[in-house]
Amino acid sequence: MSILLDLFLTFAKIGLFTFGGGYAMIAMIENSCVEQKQWITHDEMMNITVIAESTPGPIAINCATFTGYKKAGFPGALTATFGIITPSFIVIYLISMFLDHFLEMTMIANAFKGIKIAVGILILDAAAAMIKKMQKKKLPGTILVCSCMIMLCVNLFAWNFSSISLMLMAAIVSLTIFILRGSPVRKGGEER
């Protein structure tokens, strides 16, 4: 079997069987690409996980692009990335054609009223998990609290202010403080 086809099928399988995305996918990718196919090493896998944390986009896409590139260059990267998004694309496209009809049924509509509440809780839970993993220092803590306050006001008063502008501001603030300070953050010596 040609390597491109193999890449496509392997990542399509990963895309089809992992729900919710994110870290659930890492175990699956590790299992197929490191253990079974031996396309990349365990160290490379760890490396890409770290890179994925510092780059935008879903970690599954990052892993697919990286593994594809390692095995077969640019065409490989393209094929693996297409592989991982194809199954969910088909599933969601089909759902998008029928969802409105489903919602006309009272029982389904009621179920979704309940689901709506679960989504809020899931998002809160995700935030809690991220806070737990975060470095507990003054500057990140301040940025977190400020951005949360600003976004709450934006939601509450329906201000016209996008979260992307807020992210750019946070990046600029952090960079400015770093440059002004002139040296890397000293251990324990966090003074503004």
Partner 1 sequence: MIYLQLFLGFLKVGCFAFGGAYGAIPLIRDMVMSYGWLSDEMLTYMIAVSESTPGPVMVNLATYIGSNQAGFLGAVIATLAVVLPSFLIILLVTVFLKTALKNKYVQAILRGLKPCVIGIVLATGIHMVFTNCIGSIFAVEFNCNALIITVILIASMLGYKYFRKKKLSPILLIVISALAGVFVYGI
**Among residue numbers 30 through 89, which ones bind partner 1 (CB under 8 A)?**
51, 54-62, 65-66, 69-70, 74, 77, 81, 84-85, 87-89
Instruction: Please say which residue, 1 or 15, places its beta carbon nearer to partner 1.
Output: 15
Kindly provide the b/e burial profile for residues 130-139, where b requires at least 16 CB atoms within 10 angstroms of the residue's own CB. eeeeeeeeee
Binding mask of the shown chain, residues 109 to 148, with x at each position contacting partner 1 by CB under 8 A: -xxxxxxxxxxxxxxxxxx--xx--x----xxx-xxxxxx
How far is it, in rounded angstroms, from Cα 21 to Cα 37? 21
| Binding status of residue 105 toward partner 1 by CB under 8 A | no
How far is it, in rounded angstroms, from Cα 59 to Cα 26? 8
CB of 28 to partner 1, least distance (A): 11
- Strand residue runs (E) in 98-192: none
Helix (H) / strand (E) containing 51: helix 42-54
CB of 10 to partner 1, least distance (A): 15
Q: Single out the residue of 35, 155, 188, 191 in contact with partner 1 (rule: CB under 8 A).
A: 155
